[in-house]
Structure 1
């Protein structure tokens, strides 16, 4: 038996035609949220305030800050975590259905997670120290047993612990930052070699060690949702998805508003207690928003199914979601080529609205490339690599 075939009944990667529509739509939309959440971190050259946003905002930049803080900031990564956990749940269910024993599935999830750590480390050190791939790889390694074999109660308790943790700990995210000209110091370093050395430290501290604490609850909740096939069979769960989408997104906006007003400098000099409360509410709203977005994409899948399938735009979104790892890495390549001091340096003194346009434009280009790749029958290169590393060369060609 080879390393890539942990069981004779291992079916390998899921064929593209067998993938559920709603999770892929959600992954494609999630990438826009992640692009917007990340791109302002590349700004350098003027004082940086809450959540990495510049302190001197006015006019259009204030509007962008308000929208991003209520709809994007802290909402994209819980959605990512939910979908990651959901994917592990799908993997476990499919292999269980063909008789693959749970210990072998757990081993497979850990092997996949270990390779994600390697890919995430390369991404974090070479390009973007806020990498999330290694973070989720670490969670896969540490949580594999519970995600595959844990009880529903264990998953829900872990999710509640995760929500409680971020609500308490992220209260400090609303406190003023030390004087700095860049949220990540590597962005303002002109020497590529020196910037690389600093990025290695940033990735280890921020991307790999710190970020898992903020999203492990979402991963557990995603695995729980997968067992109920909430996004695989959204029509069956439509009333629940409607309630979750409406309440989740409304909570994201309302709970994120206090900190959004602070970030946009529309609420200046709030008392310390209100700052801490705003940080907690913002983090809690992030989980609510991530869940709400997932439910909204489930409802979109229902609508598309009733219309006979995805149209031109939603098909591109689906194609992007099927190549989410490659598309995520492509965003970093584009941002790094344009914004840090060690490349073109366009992030120096950039306005928030300008970087937001860069994020949207980058996502649109990647969306078009993903759609063209799908029509040509090409998979994402990062997906091919991860599947070969996880399943071995005999499993990789199954167009997962």
Structure 2
């Protein structure tokens, strides 16, 4: 007598590069430019700090003030919400592809948790070794916590999370506009330490408090929104949602720009707000960052829809997409450059560069990231961080 065994579930593997949707990778490639711009001034030190880790306005040149105002309105607090939205979207895509292939829901939740643990490990190493403002570990914690919602939750639970996420973001914003104590020369003391060992010890504490515990509630709402965006098909099928995407892109970016303007002008020294005005401007700046993150993602989706209609992608789009496919590698690599050039324990340039000069360094770093990604694309290779993350998530042979 013969016995038959139940069919085994299909092996869990990552998505081949050729099968990836254009809009999310285009958005990831672009958001890394914003991440570079948002993080570079945090590495400046050896001068009195002003609003949101920028130097005090009276220590800045006119170009520095202009760059500060632009970045505060369109980049700071707008880049990480977009990144968080893309993490939520990616988690939804990972889950839905496997559910459609017949993988049981509990196995999919376990896979999301494995991805979360892998991101927590990668983010922890990044935070302790290079940049304590790491965000990857916070995304890992959220995947661990939200795996049941990504796979099985209804729309209502996710909407509640999105709205609830505005509360810690707004409370955080109330504080970011307040005056900085005299003598504060760096948001992250680790960047100003000349000792490599002492800097590492500072980074470990900063990462736990700033890079992990503080950031988890700040990005949770946008991760939930990314899952909702994935369920609506806005990024993987942008052609059928062009009108809505256009409205969200224009409305989101306009709201973010106007909402960030009062704090931006205060940071640039255009006016000196009262304590109440500073708190209100900070709350407005932070809350409208949600709208900016969504607006940027919708803008990338609109670009993808236009390219689909043309049937061909120009070289710059292919370059951005190459970086988007290797966004984790690019994210980690930008910290290698900034730590090597700007921190007191390495290059030390953070003590002398102005905000405008630092912004040029950020753009130059992003260009190098694009060039590296294009070279890997031409060689048919994934980024090293992506390869490692896949192995941690799916096991060897993935």
**115, 120, 129: which one pairs with 1:117?**
120
The match for 2:271 is 267
Q: What SS does structure 1 have at the residue aligned with 2:351?
A: coil
**Cα distance, 1:49 vs structure 2:** 1.2
The match for 1:132 is 135
User: What is the RMSD computed on CA atoms of the aligned residues?
Assistant: 1.0
**225, 232, 237: which one pairs with 2:241?**
237
1:161 correspondence with 2:164: yes
Q: More deviation in 178-187 or 258-267?
A: 178-187
The match for 1:3 is none
Q: More deviation in 174-183 or 357-366?
A: 174-183
**Cα distance, 1:160 vs structure 2:** 0.7
**Cα distance, 1:212 vs structure 2:** 1.1
Moved over 3 A (4+): none
The match for 1:181 is 185
Q: Matches of 1:73 and 1:311 in 2, distance apart? A: 29
The match for 2:230 is 226
Q: Matches of 2:27 and 2:214 in 1, distance apart? A: 25
Q: Matches of 1:309 and 1:286 in 2, distance apart? A: 33
Query: Given that residues 12 and 394 in structure 2 are in contact (C-alpha distance below 8 angstroms), is that contact kept between their aligned partners in structure 1?
Result: no
The match for 1:28 is 29
Q: Matches of 1:9 and 1:239 in 2, distance apart? A: 38
Q: Matches of 2:217 and 2:337 in 1, distance apart? A: 28
**Cα distance, 1:11 vs structure 2:** 4.2
1:212 correspondence with 2:225: no
Q: How does 1:308-347 map to 2 (within 5 A)?
A: 308-347=311-350
The match for 1:203 is 207
**231, 255, 258: which one pairs with 2:259?**
255
C-alpha distance after superposition, 1:218-246 (max 9, x if no partner): 00000011011110000111110000000
Q: Unmatched 5+ residue regions in structure 2?
A: 1-7
Q: Matches of 1:307 and 1:195 in 2, distance apart? A: 51
TM-score (norm 2): 0.96
The match for 1:53 is 54
Q: Matches of 2:337 and 2:327 in 1, distance apart? A: 15
Query: Given that residues 173 and 287 in structure 2 are in contact (C-alpha distance below 8 angstroms), is that contact kept between their aligned partners in structure 1?
Result: no
Q: What SS does structure 1 have at the residue aligned with 2:214?
A: helix
**Cα distance, 1:143 vs structure 2:** 1.2
Q: Matches of 2:78 and 2:261 in 1, distance apart? A: 13
Query: Given that residues 259 and 279 in structure 1 are in contact (C-alpha distance below 8 angstroms), is that contact kept between their aligned partners in structure 2?
Result: yes
The match for 1:194 is 198
Q: Matches of 1:393 and 1:47 in 2, distance apart? A: 49
Q: Unmatched 5+ residue regions in structure 1?
A: 1-6
Q: Matches of 2:280 and 2:166 in 1, distance apart? A: 15
C-alpha distance after superposition, 1:178-237 (max 9, x if no partner): 231111111111110111111110111100110111110000000011011110000111
Q: Matches of 2:217 and 2:38 in 1, distance apart? A: 18
The match for 2:41 is 40
Q: Matches of 1:336 and 1:356 in 2, distance apart? A: 15
